[in-house]
Chains A and B, each alone.
Chain A
Amino acid sequence: MAHNTTPPGFLLTNLNQIANWARTRSMFPATFGLACCAIEMMASGTAHYDLARFGMEVFRASPRQADLMIVAGRVSQKMAPVLRQVYDQMPDPKWVISMGACASTGGMFNNYALVQGVDQVVPVDIYVPGCPPGPQSLMHGILTLHDKIMDGELARG
């Protein structure tokens, strides 16, 4: 899919745009795969769909070294404090993609056991719907995030 890689007037832009460009081009996701969506996230990182072309195939195990948290799967009540702890350990600037129906809204499991939407626990930037969203949908979400960062809509730090 065509993606504009060179911002216009590269040498004349201010530092902020350069920083945004650098942030989008090597965003490291933190491993936060929980359930079925995690398998699709792994599939999008492997050879057929290949996140490596966006510089993102390195899933950092340590949240201290990651800047993107893709919450892939259903978040149970027991997991919510863990989710928050991992999010808090990530240094700024950080972004959150809520992948799948269960992470975005609780999905088909409207019951006692799940947090109805991970935005109850962490602030979310992009919601990717699907059950599970295929790798194409996840990549669309990631690239939308890149676009938003490049445009300066998500100003962090």
Chain B
Amino acid sequence: MTQILIKNGYVFDPLNNIKGEVMDIAIKDGKIVDSRNLNPSEEITIIDAKGKIVMPGGIDIHSHIAGPKINIGRLMRPEDHYMTNVPGEFPYIRAETGLSTPNVFKIGYEYARMGYTLAAEPATPPVMTRHTHHELNDIPIIDKMAYVIVDSNWILLDLIANNDPKLLAAYLAWVLKSTKTYSLKLVDPGSDFAWLLQGRGLDIYEQIPVYGFTPADIVKNVAEAAQMLNLPHKVHIHCNKLGFPGNYATTIKTMELSSKVHKMTEGPAMHITHVQFTGYKGDSWSTLESGGEDIAKVLNSNPDVTLDLGQVIPGRSVTTMTGDAPFEYVLYHLTRNKWYSSDVETDGASGIVPYKYKEKSYVNTVQWVIGLEITLLVQDISRVFIATDHPNAGLFTDYPLVFSWLMSKKAREETMKKLSQKALKKSALPAIDRELTLYDIALMTRASPAKLLGLENTKGHLGIGADADVAIYDIDPMNMDLSKDYNKVIQGFRKAWLVIKNGEIVVRDGEIINPLVTGSTYYASPEVPVSLEKDLYKAIYNKIKQYYTITYESFIIDEKELLKSKVMNLRTSLG
């Protein structure tokens, strides 16, 4: 196996409290080791990272990279692929195409080029997850995982109505195990059911038709089941009323639910995702204002909640795709271009609509402001994660831009010149002076995502025993002012100088040199007592037959269908 020694770099490793110190990192057999353990009689690749920063591989907790909706996005947007084709290189480097709906190879290569080594697909309907895994298998280089959508599926609603928390937890464990997914996702909880029956969405305390309880009950029940199952990443919530002015109140109400969840394990009880889309104040699009300040206040006072941004990139043409069908219906009627709407058996509904964020637009400027405001006003930034909700608000390749806005007031001011001044006048952002440091960026993109996903033993740090996923960027914090030279920061993070995955060098000077490295797919496997499993089998076997087009047996995805998998066995409190 390869032995690598990285010398002279400025190391940023928040989990081990290393803040830009010059130190050596030794790698052997795909793990970080003490440099004394390298075998001098075998070949050692020495990398001189003088004047460069060394960080653990980046982790993206929310990026739509695989599954049926991505594929339909690719089909319905041929215009997204024009002029983006990069031919492959014989024999191993595959062709790349697409911007907001890239092909699988481009996804893997671009993440690697940015020094990211793990990405999570945040929404896959249970019955469609086999497709998701087939696509994840084809994404090269990076590690990946998927969160399964469990918000409006009929069996779940039946079980909540029966009021048997243990059986519900056993069902969710069965869904995770049989679909080989990592965490639970709630998309606009309860709304899909109302959408399918009545063509409307629901607010958090509105009643779900037929069942009679509210989306808040779904959030509470699933969050409590996640506590029982001891999931590392408990529950990933896309709030109700997403994309409607005035929805910041709904978001705050959802965040407040976390205090009602009965806690059994450590870690934050819930994660609010792409908060930018659910942080709108005002009662119509013309009076829209940022609710960022209010959300930041609630986050500061509530340690049980984490959130990611869904940062909008002005000027970017994107493809919005979400399991929130009522919102896509509204968005289609705003854009009048094309719309895909789908009803995934009894799991929920989804939609896809292309959209462009215009720089001069009042609404789009407010959206841009919200994400940055929240990050810069929050005290504990380890509970805020950088994401563009790729490809909904921006592309994952735009992360370096987001870093530059967070790290440099000058970069924000330059961008603000191009945006709607009317919107900026009403916002707090122009007055904020805070500038984040490289350490903060390492914390937000490496250490805290690893902790959030419960992978802090092997991922997100460079201590001994960690997986050898390392990114080295050509940014010299000693000899340049990061706040002024923000363009160099963007370039540096966009194309990493060197990236190591599984102990192999995969990227050098921003180019892929070793595309044959494959990452693993992580999935959670909570332990369920045999007697409870038997009860569950009795309760759902016939329902699956009745509700789905496939049977109980076909529903289960075999371990063999995953190219390379890593299972997280979890001890639960069900026994």
A and B interact: no
